Each structure stands twice: as structure tokens, then as C-alpha cells.
Amino acid sequence: QQPVQSPQAVILREGEDAVINCSSSKALYSVHWYRQKHGEAPVFLMILLKGGEQKGHDKISASFNEKKQQSSLYLTASQLSYSGTYFCGIFNNAGNMLTFGGGTRLMVKP
Amino acid sequence: GAVVSQHPSWVICKSGTSVKIECRSLDFQATTMFWYRQFPKQSLMLMATSNEGSKATYEQGVEKDKFLINHASLTLSTLTVTSAHPEDSSFYICSATGTSSTYEQYFGPGTRLTVT
């Protein structure tokens, strides 16, 4: 079952922060985050494997709340290069199939 | 490391013809390869999962006779769209997983198919 992402779209000014949420109706075993630029394949951002885990790279970080069956992606002090569509992906029980959320379109303006 | 390539990058074909798309893992052995289809402004939808040397597992609603998948080796999987129609026009993306325990999927650059 496809995870639900919110918001569907967001427009930011450079330097502003954003949070993208990903929720599942089923138990989560791992959460993946990807960013896709128009016309390109998704690019892996990070994976969270354990409940309570938090990770970050540069000014993009994510958390994984296993009990709430959700994950959040945090973009702080956004840059123009952050523009794109962000997808979360969740694995099934067997860990062999990734189902993507509907995506969140992020546009960062100067 | 962990590079996946796709060929061709884009293809335009006439309705009724068949098109083959290749997906290669360049620097690792891909135990499992996945084929996704993405329509404009939509999410990636998994079409099928293939393991080397065995038949692909297709998602519900995906015609296995129309989308032929062959995973002949640990570094190559092919998707053939048979008797293509304009509604098959889409962005086709493959991904692969290796032996890493992090379940990370490595995506190819995608193939844009346009059927006229």
C-alpha cells in the first residue's frame, strides 16, 4: 500500500525551512528518501532503518517514528538546488519491494 | 560505486512496434532488479521485480505478455515493450539492489519512451 506524503507541493524562498511527512497505514521496517529532478531518475538521499533513528546530511535530515508509522524529512535553510520532487519509499516485510509515496513537489525561489 | 545505466536514454517508436530497454549494473552484481514506470507529475509505480535466472514477478495490472522482462545475468536486465501503443509512452526507470544489507536501491537514469 502506497505511503501518504504531505504536503503535495510547497514553495519556499531561499533560506526557508520545510518539512515533508510520510505516513503508512502498515508497520514500517525502513524508510527511504529520494529526490527527483524533472526528467531525471530519483537520487537516493538517505535510509532510516530503526525506529527513533535520525539522520542528516548537509542541511537535510530525516526522522523515523516507528510507533506512529511515519517519517519526516527536514530541509533547513533551503537552497535553489533543493528544488525537485521528494519521494519517500517503504519496504515490504520481505525487504524486497519498495513502494513510493505520491511525492512532494518542492520549489525554492530566489 | 553502485552505478546503474540504462540504454537508450530516449526512444521514439511507431505504434505496434516493440522496444527493448536495457538496464545494467556497472560495478556491482545486482541480485534483484526492479522496473518502474512514471507518468508525468506522478509517482514511480513498480511494474515488476526480477531476480537473475528466474521469471519476473509482475505487479497487479501489469501485462506480463506486453512487458517482457529478462534478467539474463547479474548485471543485465531487459524490458521489452511489445506492440507499443501511445498510452505506453512514459518514463521507464530501472533500479537494482546488490548484496548490501542496507536495502538501498540504485536507480538508472531512466528511458523516455514516446510511441507515435
Cis geometry, peptide bond prior to residue A7 (ω within 30 degrees of 0): yes
Per-residue pLDDT, B101: 53
Of B46, B95, B112, the CB nearest to A99: B46
* Residue B38 CB-half CA count within 13 A: 28
Mean pLDDT of B7-36: 92
Decide: B25 and B4 in contact? Cβ < 8 Å.
yes
Q: Give the residue carrying C-alpha cell 506512529.
A: A68
Instruction: Say yes or no to pLDDT of A83 above 80.
Output: yes
Decide: B72 and B58 in contact? Cβ < 8 Å.
no
Mean pLDDT of A64-81: 92
* Residue A74 CB-half CA count within 13 A: 11
Distance CA A54, CA A87 (A): 17
Q: Which residue of A has its CA nearest to B39?
A: A39
Q: How confident is the model at residue B81 (pLDDT cuts 50, 70, 90)?
A: very high
Per-residue pLDDT, A52: 73
Per-residue pLDDT, B23: 96
C-beta atoms of B44 and A100 within 8 A: yes
Q: How confident is the model at residue A19 (pLDDT cuts 50, 70, 90)?
A: very high
C-beta atoms of B107 and A41 within 8 A: yes
Instruction: Say yes or no to pLDDT of B102 above 60.
Output: no
Distance CA B47, CA B113 (A): 15
Q: How confident is the model at residue A87 (pLDDT cuts 50, 70, 90)?
A: very high
Instruction: Say yes or no to pLDDT of A26 above 90.
Output: no
Q: Which residue of A has its CA nearest to B34?
A: A97
Instruction: Say yes or no to pLDDT of A92 above 80.
Output: no
Share of chain B above pLDDT 70, in %: 95
Q: Which residue of A has its CA nearest to B5?
A: A41
Of B34, B103, B109, the CB nearest to A95: B103
Per-residue pLDDT, B21: 96
Amino acid at A96: N
Instruction: Say yes or no to pLDDT of A3 above 90.
Output: yes
Distance CA B6, CA B28 (A): 15
Per-residue pLDDT, A95: 63
> What are the Cα distances from residue B27, in Å, to A7, A25, B7?
37, 36, 16
**Other beta carbons less than 10 A from residue A81's beta carbon:** 9
Q: How confident is the model at residue B103 (pLDDT cuts 50, 70, 90)?
A: low
Q: How confident is the model at residue A88 (pLDDT cuts 50, 70, 90)?
A: very high
Distance CA A87, CA A104 (A): 7
Distance CA A22, CA A102 (A): 10
Mean pLDDT of B64-72: 92
Decide: B111 and B13 in contact? Cβ < 8 Å.
no
